[in-house]
Amino acid sequence: MPKTDHNEVVEASAPADQRTVLTQRRTDRFARVEPKGKRVYTARERAEMLVDEGSFVEMAPMRSAGAGAGSGVVAGWGTTDGHSVVVVSHDAAVASGAIGAVMAEAIQKAQRFAIDKGYPIVYINDSGGARIHDGIFALHGCGGIFALNIEAQSRIPQISLILGPCAGAAAYSPALTDWTIMVKEQGQMFLTGPDIVKAATGEDASAEDIGGSALHTKVSGVAHLEVDNEEEAFHATRLLLSFLPTHKGGRQKRHDAVPANPHAAAALPTLVPEKSSIVFDMNKLLDGVLDNGARLELMPEHAPSILTLFARLDGHAVGVLANQPNARGGILDSKASVKAARFVEFCGRFDLPVLTFVDVPGFLPGTVEEGRGVITHGAKLLKAYVDTKSPKLTVVVRKSYGGAYIAMGSASLGAHANWAWSNSEIAVMGPGGAVALLHRRALKEAEDPTALRDELAAVYREEVARPYLAAEAGIVDDVIHPEETRDRMVAALRMLTHGSAV
Amino acid sequence: MYLARAEIVSNVWKIVAREGDQVAAGDVLAVLESMKMEIPLVAQVGGHVSKILVELGQIVQEGDPIIEIDETASA
């Protein structure tokens, strides 16, 4: 009697028994995928939960790395909201998801398929990194995955979920993808885990300390969204995909236009405090302009002085950048610049319109920021706007000074349409700083320097900083009332996307 | 003990909380001035203001502690 690899005794040759053999083989292959630790779902269940119900098809379910175990990965395709997507789900039940030669090959096959056919790819990461026993074959396989991650950047959206401790290669591949979502107190990303860290440098640190979601979504910026559990991670992924085309040059997803939140729209004219030093919540301004519907803010806790989010305007998926006065005064610094540049660059790569809402006091100067390389990082934002060829619409809602004016999607960087609210100020620097610099001597000699400074600041505001000067020079297209913003943006967006027949 | 820290290099513009005050999460403890912006320093936890660590007009760096709150003394 023949024996299978798995030592079940089966009858030979009878057709009915071949069905039994296949069924048994499948059961064996699947049964080995057991959840571990606090993780509840198997690799296959995760893939199935991510996509539309019943749509998941595994590409090579019988593939094995030997010894009766699976390849270490469940790769396949399905749909989200009816749109095709490729899924790679690490199988932590096989050697802790460590990437060996066979697993790497299976992942690369899925990547190749996604790139060639033009579908977004979602990587569900739960892997200890390269499989040590596979030596150079594991490293070569991981390198191949990276190379395809990079090739994919110019072709398809890539999303990474971190659902377990991900070390080495399993952390680097996500860093080469567009957006990374981590499950709190479950997913970690690090070069190497706590034991090796201790051996290498002597540092005592927990897995959460060196690679938890709190570190990566708040401090390092390595990951872009923190969620509470796997279900939320899948939901966020589907929401993210709902804003994106399937591939570069693919059709933009259109929904029915929804008016802005009526209360927020009604509040727009009085929302922004007249005094430019008083902070307010930019989200309320966005509520009064954008479609009242689905949004997804990325990196909400990292560099919060700038908001980056996907939303819709007139039913069209758009990327939104906005200074957030409520956080650190809305300044641009090194981290905010990197965050903004990355977002603009992504939008440009996938033809998403970029809407920029400006209320910025400037780039934060000083020793700390210069030491962080704010010049280099700020320059990345300039480059991202110039390189982006998708529709760029910009509105200055209160103040926009100096290099930060230029960096926030200005006309000089190729804004296709731009406006300024009637009470806004655009200048090389704010009235306080400018007056102190321009009238240093007069202020020094004045009997009442405070009164003179206020007087000069008022003159500066009128003669130098008012947006009418910019509009008369054609640098700002028009000066508008706050309540006109949505209509102006919608009209421009229709024109720029050939979408006038909505 | 919870330390409310400056989130940006700035000067201490206003100190709103007083030692001994009970504060709730979300209360404004102080206002820092930087880049001509009045940046509120907001309590992340509720409790008893046990120490004011700065003086008006003092220059503080990002991360410097401004106000100490004893969370265990929450009313």
Cα–Cα nearest to A320, from A394, A410, A388: A394
CB distance A241 to A85 below 8 Å: yes
pLDDT of A4 reads 44
In sequence order, which residues have a C-beta less than 8 Å from that of residue A207 and are 6 or more positions away?
Answer: A165, A188, A190, A193, A194
Nearest to B9 among A279, A368, A432 (CB): A368
What residues are paired with A179 via a beta bridge?
A159
Gap from B75 CA to chain A (nearest CA, Å): 28
pLDDT digit string (tens) for A416-450?
999 999 999 999 988 888 998 999 999 999 999 88
B19 interfacial to chain A (CB closer than 8 Å): no
Q: B 39-58 residues with CB below 8 A of A?
A: 39-40
In sequence order, which residues have a C-beta less than 8 Å from that of residue A357 and are 6 or more positions away?
Answer: A282, A285, A286, A289, A320, A321, A322, A323, A394, A395, A397
Supply the DSSP symbol for A366: S
**Which CATH number does the domain housing residue B61 bear?**
2.40.50.100
- Number of C-beta neighbours around residue A448 at 10 A: 9
Gap from A450 CA to chain B (nearest CA, Å): 16
pTM over 0.90: yes
What residues are paired with B22 via a beta bridge?
B48
- Number of C-beta neighbours around residue A37 at 10 A: 9
Q: Verify whether the Cβ–Cβ distance A277 to B38 is below 8 Å.
A: yes
Higher-scoring residue by pLDDT: A483, B72? A483
Please work out, in degrees rounded to the nearest 5, the angle formed at the alpha carbon of residue A210 by the alpha carbons of A207 and A215: 110
**Is A26 a residue whose pLDDT tops 80?**
no
Average pLDDT over residues A218-224: 97
ipTM value, please give it: 0.89
Nearest to A430 among B8, B36, B61 (CB): B36
Q: Verify whether the Cβ–Cβ distance A364 to B8 is below 8 Å.
A: yes
How many domains does one find in chain B? 1
**Is A1 a residue whose pLDDT tops 60?**
no
**Is A347 a residue whose pLDDT tops 50?**
yes
**Is A131 a residue whose pLDDT tops 70?**
yes
CB distance A248 to A350 below 8 Å: yes
Q: What residues in B contact A362, CB-CB < 8 Å?
A: 35
Q: Provide the domain limits for residue B27.
A: 2-73
**Is B63 a residue whose pLDDT tops 70?**
yes
B31 interfacial to chain A (CB closer than 8 Å): no
Instruction: Please state, in angstroms and rounded to a whole number, the distance separating the CA atoms of residues A381 and A16.
Output: 65
- Number of C-beta neighbours around residue A203 at 10 A: 11
Cα–Cα nearest to A107, from A82, A131, A133, A79: A131
Q: Could you tell me how many CB contacts below 8 A there are between chain A and chain B?
A: 41
Higher-scoring residue by pLDDT: A410, B72? A410
Q: Give the lowest-confidence range in A7-16, A112-121, A183-192, B39-48.
A: A7-16
Q: Verify whether the Cβ–Cβ distance B8 to A330 is below 8 Å.
A: no
Supply the DSSP symbol for A464: I
Kindly list the distances between the CA atom of residue B26 and the CA atoms of A103, A231, B12, B23, B53, in Å, as whole numbers in the listed order. Answer: 49, 30, 19, 8, 19
Residue of B nearest to A280 (CA): B39
Q: Verify whether the Cβ–Cβ distance B36 to A325 is below 8 Å.
A: no
- Number of C-beta neighbours around residue A91 at 10 A: 25
Q: Verify whether the Cβ–Cβ distance A279 to B39 is below 8 Å.
A: yes
Mutate to test the interface with A, among B32, B35, B61, B64 (most CBs of A within 10 A): B35
Q: Give the lowest-confidence range in A319-333, A382-396, A420-434.
A: A420-434
